[in-house]
Structure 1
Amino acid sequence: VGGAFWAGFVHENAQEELVLRPPGARPEEEFLATCIRCGLCVEACPYDTLELGTYGVDVPVGTPYFEPRKTPCYLCEDIPCAVACPTSALDLAQLKDESGELDVSRSRMGVAVVDYNNCIAAKGLRCDACVRACPYMGDAIFVDSRRNPRTGKHAMLVPVVDADYCTGCGLCEHACVTEEASILVLPREVALGRAGEHYELPAPDFTPEVPADEI
């Protein structure tokens, strides 16, 4: 069910609203009005993460985007893609801390959403690939102990994302071991906002947390 849900969700929304932009990108409408399609951010990326939209792809032609399952953002500390932007379509102000220094952890490219119906950890198997792939493990994503409803007594360890800390880099999605990723990075306005008006995201049917002495 979970895989079918996400396949349907992505299919129905496989247009511009699901595009993931580089660090510091302004809100989509403002970004499209500001980006001059120069490609300098793509050239500056040392990991070839960024691509430019072309004809036949559901991304405005000439604008930068990335696909985490293919190549995630590796969160360069000097954020060369944003620094290279000549128009502030990638806004450095969003990426600076209180002292004015660049802080890539302030990136909010999207937010990871776990498909618990497809995640093998939520089926009782031990897997923490997505958690270990996260550079902000323990904050942006962590493991939570839950009672296994299938056995009624064993604990299972499931990944939980904290949207307040998730950068949307996609390292978790890239690391997911299932054939179709069970954790997907979606634009924040979709994952946290507008999707809720039209879709009911699948939630795990977990019982209360397992007491420490029962694990």
Structure 2
Amino acid sequence: MKLSSIIAGLSAAVVAFQGVAYAARGQASLLRPPGAQSEQDFLSRCIKCGKCIEACPYLALSPARDDAGFAVGTPVIDARAQACRLCEDFPCVSACPTGALRDISARSEVRMGVAVIDEDVCIAFQGMRCEVCYRTCPLIDQAIHIDYRLREGDAIHSVFAPVIDEDACVGCGLCVERCVVDDPVVAIRIAPAAERAEQASG
């Protein structure tokens, strides 16, 4: 057996071990590209080649930074800076050579995470009409809709409250990118799929 083959095999084993160890420590809260399965599966397959990052036409993918532990260098999305645009042909998935991103053919199949609204911060819940997250959603009236109702204790003013359908939301983050509130925090965030899985199992 050639030395290069042995080295390649050992490298793959190390990557797989790191993926399992990282996911097992409960630190898998990074927003992954479309086609990522469980965090453990993703990290066991991703070789940090950067091909998905290069393939993204919107520059939405970047390598995880040093504070990501074993996951440093793997592709992540900072939705506030540049959300996923859910390209119809999913070039990031097509570019992945290892199957770390796979099994996606339609937007509705993407499961990156779920949008979560902080009602204490969202101005719509304070009685101001906004609808930015609703209007920007690529799955408008599916993943997010507006609940029109009178403000509690106020017979004059209405609340135009955004409501997330957790079964339909794919976690692309466009609502996060476009949210008009950012002081002190954004009113909406994406709970990555891995984070939700940990919460469900915990």
Give the shorter-chain TM-score range.
Answer: 0.7 to 0.9
Partners of 1:27 and 1:181 in 2: CA distance: 26
Structure-2 residue corresponding to 1:183: 188
Unmatched segments (≥5 aa) in structure 1: 1-14, 96-101, 198-215
Partners of 2:74 and 2:198 in 1: CA distance: 24
**Alpha-carbon displacement from aligned partner over 1:109-162 (angstroms, at most 9, x marks no partner):** 110001111100000100000000101110000000123025255321100000
Partners of 1:40 and 1:28 in 2: CA distance: 19
CA contact (8 A) 1:79 1:104 kept: no
Structure-1 residue corresponding to 2:157: 154
Structure-1 residue corresponding to 2:71: 60
CA contact (8 A) 1:53 1:59 kept: no
Partners of 1:123 and 1:196 in 2: CA distance: 34
2:81 to 70, 80, 88: 70
Partners of 2:81 and 2:70 in 1: CA distance: 16
Structure-2 residue corresponding to 1:42: 53
**Alpha-carbon displacement from aligned partner over 1:95-117 (angstroms, at most 9, x marks no partner):** 1xxxxxx2123111110001111
Higher helix share: 2
Partners of 2:49 and 2:191 in 1: CA distance: 25
**Alpha-carbon displacement from aligned partner over 1:27-73 (angstroms, at most 9, x marks no partner):** 00111111111110000001110001232456712210011001100
Partners of 1:50 and 1:20 in 2: CA distance: 10
Deviation at 1:195, TM superposition (A): 7.0
What TM-score does the superposition give when structure 1 sets the normalisation length? 0.75
Q: How does 1:96-115 map to 2 (within 5 A)?
A: 102-115=105-118
Structure-1 residue corresponding to 2:132: 129
Structure-2 residue corresponding to 1:119: 122
Larger Rg computed on CA atoms: 2
Aligned residues: 175
CA contact (8 A) 1:113 1:191 kept: no
CA contact (8 A) 2:48 2:73 kept: yes
RMSD between aligned alpha carbons? Answer: 2.0
Is 1:82 the counterpart of 2:93 in the alignment?
A: yes
CA contact (8 A) 2:123 2:130 kept: yes
Is 1:27 the counterpart of 2:27 in the alignment?
A: no
Q: Identify if the C-alpha distance between structure 1 residues 85 and 188 changes in structure 2 by more than 3 Å, giving closer, same or farther.
A: same
Q: Please give the secondary structure, in 2, of the residue aligned with 1:18.
A: coil
Q: Please give the secondary structure, in 2, of the residue aligned with 1:17.
A: coil
The amino acid of 1:173's aligned partner reads V
What TM-score does the superposition give when structure 2 sets the normalisation length? 0.80
Q: Identify if the C-alpha distance between structure 1 residues 128 and 196 changes in structure 2 by more than 3 Å, giving closer, same or farther.
A: farther
Unmatched segments (≥5 aa) in structure 2: 1-25
